[in-house]
């Protein structure tokens, strides 16, 4: 059996071009080589497999673009879910690291109670904060931040003891009240910033 040198060179090139694919154009078995002797069959298959790379790249680009759009859509939905309710409601709002900054910036006067569930003095201050939130609805916004679950804000403001009340006016920290105290002592320290 005789193979022309050009045919052998082209088949070697094809094999090299397709070695990273799951298929190989050339079969070394003699009975399957007979169809490759036909130049039209060979050239049409050569053009098909050379064009395959381009089609596969285009398909891969479409898949990548589709996945990127899905990821962006998921991320945009998650950021929409994080938006806090910033209007005073007569009760302290539960804040997180993600909602803290928006809450303090969007209210003229905001008081944030930094607390933890295991803290006894925090449980003493909590009813006082709830009463003040009800009494000063619309003038002072009150929020509660669990420092065990949201320690980024605690580190940012150097909170070493709880309960700590952070008082913000137009987004800027203007007072920090540390420790538990009764309403008679706490109320004047907050209301003087109105």
Residues annotated catalytic, as ranges: 119, 122
CA-CA distance, 105 to 176, in Å (whole number)?
Answer: 17
Phi-psi region of 138 (alpha: psi -120 to 50; beta: other; left: phi over 0): left
Yes or no: say if 76 and 107 are a contact pair by the CB < 8 Å rule.
Answer: no
Euclidean distance between CA atoms 177 and 132, whole angstroms: 15
Asked if residue 173 lies in contact with residue 157, where contact means CB atoms within 8 angstroms, the answer is yes
């Amino acid at each position: 059996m005789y193979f022309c040198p050009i045919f052998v060179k082209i088949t070697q090139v094809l094999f090299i071009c397709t070695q990273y694919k799951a298929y190989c154009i050339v079969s070394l078995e003699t009975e399957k080589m007979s169809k490759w002797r036909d130049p039209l069959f060979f050239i049409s298959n050569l053009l098909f497999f050379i064009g395959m790379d381009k089609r596969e790249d285009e398909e891969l680009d479409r898949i990548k673009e589709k996945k990127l759009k899905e990821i962006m859509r998921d991320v945009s939905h998650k950021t929409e879910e994080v938006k806090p309710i910033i209007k005073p409601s007569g009760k302290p709002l539960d804040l997180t690291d993600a909602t803290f900054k928006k809450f303090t910036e969007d209210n003229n006067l905001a008081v944030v109670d930094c607390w933890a569930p295991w803290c006894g003095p925090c449980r003493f201050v909590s009813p006082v904060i709830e009463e003040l939130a009800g009494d000063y609805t619309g003038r002072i916004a009150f929020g509660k931040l669990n420092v065990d679950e949201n320690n980024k804000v605690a580190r940012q403001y150097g909170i070493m003891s709880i309960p700590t009340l952070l008082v913000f006016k137009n987004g800027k920290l203007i007072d920090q009240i540390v420790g538990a105290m009764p309403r008679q002592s706490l109320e004047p320290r907050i209301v003087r910033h109105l």
